[in-house]
């Protein structure tokens, strides 16, 4: 009999834990807000480590596309409410290379965090015109306290957005750097052209086969980077 009672207690305890809400929304007190940082995505949608910035690329967009919108996510700590709330985002100018009102449209004085949601977003409208002369530009955003929200986690109160019209270095570049040397967007473009893929292969012989072709192309031809006007080679 005592054994049966013991099992019932365990089952009830498990049911109690299974019914618990997301601890984020058990928070009582002032509503707080913070940025949501992206995570590296492996194959099949498996999440990896947290990245230190958001990268927004216009690579592949038709030349006629002169603007595009990046949606930056924010998350609240506290109970979801039945009313909309306001939050404020500003640009940290001394930590940004993109200019507000030129490289991207001026931010609004405040944004609405919609009722009954735990995560919302605000738009950053990027102008493409000046992205052709530099590899990338960065914007540092900072959340500000308002009557509706205090700051959540301090380390998540700022976030960097990198905007570019060039291919960024993939995390797997180290697997080919022994043949191709330091990353350069033109080398990556050649990799995509030859392999038909933006990803690496798990086969070392496959990587070596294409890397040797890329190395031969850059080292036996004079290929000039149109931005820096310097020759691109695969010398180590």
- Residue 98 in contact with residue 139, Cβ under 8 Å? yes
- Residue 37 in contact with residue 50, Cβ under 8 Å? yes
The pLDDT score that the predictor gives to residue 68 is 97
Backbone φ/ψ region at 25: left (φ over 0), alpha (ψ -120 to 50), beta: alpha
Specify the long-range contacts of residues 179-186, CB closer than 8 Å, at least 24 apart: 179/207, 179/208, 179/211, 179/212, 179/214, 179/215, 179/234, 180/211, 180/214, 180/215, 180/234, 181/233, 181/234, 181/235, 181/236, 184/225, 184/232, 185/135, 186/218, 186/223, 186/225, 186/232
pLDDT greater than 60 at residue 14: no
Residue 129 phi/psi, 5-degree rounding, is -50, -45
Residue spans of the domains in the chain: they are 26-164, 171-219
pLDDT greater than 60 at residue 7: no
- Residue 26 in contact with residue 78, Cβ under 8 Å? no
Four-CA torsion 99, 103, 108, 110, nearest 10 degrees: -60
130-139 CB burial, b ≥16 within 10 A, e <16: bbeeebbbeb
Domain 26-164: homologous superfamily in CATH: CalX-beta domain (2.60.40.2030)
More confident residue, 46 or 190: 190
Residue 62 phi/psi, 5-degree rounding, is -60, 150
* Mean pLDDT over each residue of the chain, to the nearest integer: 87
Q: What is the pLDDT of residues 114-139, one digit of tens each?
A: 999 999 999 999 999 989 889 999 99
Reading the block at residue 34, the tokens are: 């913070």
Average pLDDT estimate for 208-225: 96
Question: For residue 156, what pLDDT band results from cuts at 50, 70 and 90?
Answer: very high
Question: For residue 224, what pLDDT band results from cuts at 50, 70 and 90?
Answer: very high
The pLDDT score that the predictor gives to residue 47 is 80
Helix (H/G/I), strand (E/B), else coil: 66:
coil
Q: What is the pLDDT of residues 44-98, one digit of tens each?
A: 677 888 888 999 999 989 989 999 999 999 999 887 778 999 999 999 999 999 9
């Amino acid at each position: 009999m005592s054994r049966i009672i013991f099992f019932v207690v365990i089952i009830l305890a498990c049911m109690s834990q299974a019914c618990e809400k997301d601890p984020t929304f058990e928070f009582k007190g002032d509503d707080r807000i913070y940025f949501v940082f992206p995570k590296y995505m492996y194959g099949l949608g498996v999440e990896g480590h947290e990245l230190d910035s958001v990268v927004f690329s216009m690579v592949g967009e038709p030349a006629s596309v002169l603007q595009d919108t990046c949606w930056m996510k924010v998350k609240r700590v506290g109970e979801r409410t039945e009313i909309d709330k306001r939050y404020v985002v500003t640009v940290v100018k001394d930590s940004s290379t993109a200019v507000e009102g030129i490289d991207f449209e001026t931010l609004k004085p405040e944004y609405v965090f919609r009722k009954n949601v735990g995560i919302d977003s605000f738009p950053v409208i990027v102008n493409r015109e000046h992205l052709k002369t530099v590899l990338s530009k960065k914007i540092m955003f900072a959340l500000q306290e308002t009557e509706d929200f205090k700051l959540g986690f301090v380390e998540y109160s700022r976030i960097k957005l990198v905007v570019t019209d060039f291919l960024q270095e993939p995390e797997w570049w180290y697997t080919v750097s022994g043949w191709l040397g330091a990353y350069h967007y033109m080398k990556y473009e050649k990799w995509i052209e030859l392999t038909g893929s933006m990803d690496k292969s798990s086969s070392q012989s496959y990587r070596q086969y294409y890397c040797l072709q890329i190395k031969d192309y850059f080292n036996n031809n004079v290929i000039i980077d149109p931005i820096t006007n310097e020759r691109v080679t695969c010398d180590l």
